[in-house]
Amino acid sequence: MAIKLSTITSIEELPEIEGTTLFHSNELFKIFKQTSGYKPIMIIAEEDDRCIARLMGTVRKSVRLFPPAIIKRCEVYGNGEYFDNSYDKEELFSLLLNKLTREVKKRSFLIEFRNLDNPLLGYQAFKKNNYFAINWLRVYNSLHSKSPEERLSSSRKKQINRALKSGVTIEIAKDEEEIRAFSMLLRKYYSSKIRKHFPHIGFFIQLSRKNAGQEIAKIFLVKYNNKIIGGSVCAFSKDTAYLWFSMGMKKSYPFEYPGIMAVWGAIKYSYENGYDHFEFLDPGLPFKKYGYREFILRFGGKQTSTRRWFRFRWNMLNKLFCKIYS
């Protein structure tokens, strides 16, 4: 029987599948669907009425300063999820990518594949669909074999100890009121970052709700004198924790190191709860020197090379970039 591909755009259409990859899951699809400004789309591959693979992307608005414009872009995290090892992953991914590209081209100006589990998977399929690759960097921490304290730089360790001695605490957000207070701080922080995208507050409320099937995410709050001065959002998928957002009021509280404590709280929790790896979802642009990447590397992480794949809707523009990055 031939493989059947279906496009899912509503919660009612979602097939009941228990997966392990958060970024292509029904749970995250529902969260995006219920968040203002996001439009998730999922491609399902089925054979004999049985799901064998799926790939999810999310269309959102993106404000660009150069050139000045508001565009729609589709972001895809990872290579998808596959449920039957007897099928060729390359072939399945090619089918999913072809379908997703055709569907999303109508809805967005730019498609971006990032944080690929396997950067080599689908190379030919990307090329065939006129995507171009840009070399990128990823930063992740190993949480097995050594405790995270052992991997810290000496200066980072001193900063964390100093903050703890001064009375700084790290807590998990316990109610909607705390999430709203933190999201207001996060919005203010991200509004000054040209490349950073800040979702609607509903995203954080939905993300933090308990899920019976698996742990989806936690919101960590850095407090000083019972006031929130920083925090982070950490998502969980398989054996890996992903730092999605983080911030700290470092100008107002320079000796409490709120930005450092926000990241440290997420790493510490991930280690104590048995995750093997901790990855930063956006370690920054692939420049040789980049301030934020230098900051996160001092938590004892490793830097590795990867790539991101892009495709513009405008064929002329896309052909130009394909030539530049061929």
Q: What is the pLDDT of residues 232-243, one digit of tens each?
A: 999 999 999 999
What is the percent of the chain with per-residue pLDDT over 70, rounded to a whole number?
A: 93
Contact 177, 219 (CB under 8 A): no
Q: Average pLDDT, stretch 94-105?
A: 96
Amino acid 118: pLDDT: 83
Each residue of 270-291: pLDDT tens digit?
A: 999 999 999 998 887 666 677 7
Number of CB atoms found within 10 A of residue 213's CB: 11
Alpha-carbon gap, residue 326 to 316, rounded angstroms: 15
Each residue of 100-137: pLDDT tens digit?
A: 999 998 889 999 999 988 888 899 999 999 999 998 88
Amino acid 68: pLDDT: 44
The residue ranking higher by pLDDT, 114 or 293, is: 114
Contact 314, 130 (CB under 8 A): no
Q: How confident is the model at residue 217 (pLDDT cuts 50, 70, 90)?
A: very high
153 phi/psi in degrees, rounded to 5: -70, 155
Amino acid 8: pLDDT: 96
Q: How far is CA 184 from CA 60, 204, 219, in A?
A: 20, 11, 14
Is the per-residue pLDDT at 141 higher than 90? yes
Is the per-residue pLDDT at 185 higher than 60? yes
Number of CB atoms found within 10 A of residue 315's CB: 9
Q: Average pLDDT, stretch 60-89?
A: 80
Amino acid 66: pLDDT: 46
Q: How confident is the model at residue 292 (pLDDT cuts 50, 70, 90)?
A: confident
**Would you call 268 helix, strand, or coil by DSSP?**
helix
Work out the angle at residue 194's Cα, subtended by the Cα atoms of residues 259 and 321, and round it to the nearest 5 degrees. Answer: 125
Contact 290, 284 (CB under 8 A): yes
Is the per-residue pLDDT at 260 higher than 90? yes
> Which residue(s) pair with 280 in the sheet?
243
Each residue of 19-50: pLDDT tens digit?
A: 889 999 999 999 999 998 899 999 999 998 89
Q: How far is CA 156 from CA 144, 148, 168, in A?
A: 20, 12, 15
What is the percent of the chain with per-residue pLDDT over 90, rounded to a whole number?
A: 64
Give me the chain's average pLDDT, please: 89
Amino acid 10: pLDDT: 96
Is the per-residue pLDDT at 184 higher than 60? yes
Amino acid 224: pLDDT: 96
Q: How far is CA 151 from CA 4, 17, 235, 259, 302, in A?
A: 48, 38, 22, 18, 10
Contact 236, 272 (CB under 8 A): no
Spatial neighbors of 83 by CB under 8 A, at least 6 apart, are 17, 19, 51, 52, 53
Q: How confident is the model at residue 248 (pLDDT cuts 50, 70, 90)?
A: very high
Is the per-residue pLDDT at 192 higher than 60? yes
Contact 95, 5 (CB under 8 A): yes
Give the chain's domains with CATH numbers: 4-129 (3.40.630.30), 139-305 (3.40.630.30)
Alpha-carbon gap, residue 134 to 83, rounded angstroms: 29
Alpha-carbon gap, residue 212 to 304, rounded angstroms: 34
Amino acid 98: pLDDT: 97
Amino acid 304: pLDDT: 87
Alpha-carbon gap, residue 326 to 320, rounded angstroms: 10
The one-letter amino acid code at 20 reads: T
Amino acid 271: pLDDT: 96
- Write the Ramachandran bin of 117: left for phi over 0, alpha for psi from -120 to 50, otherwise beta: alpha
Is the per-residue pLDDT at 244 higher than 70? yes
Contact 96, 45 (CB under 8 A): yes
Amino acid 106: pLDDT: 85
Amino acid 288: pLDDT: 65
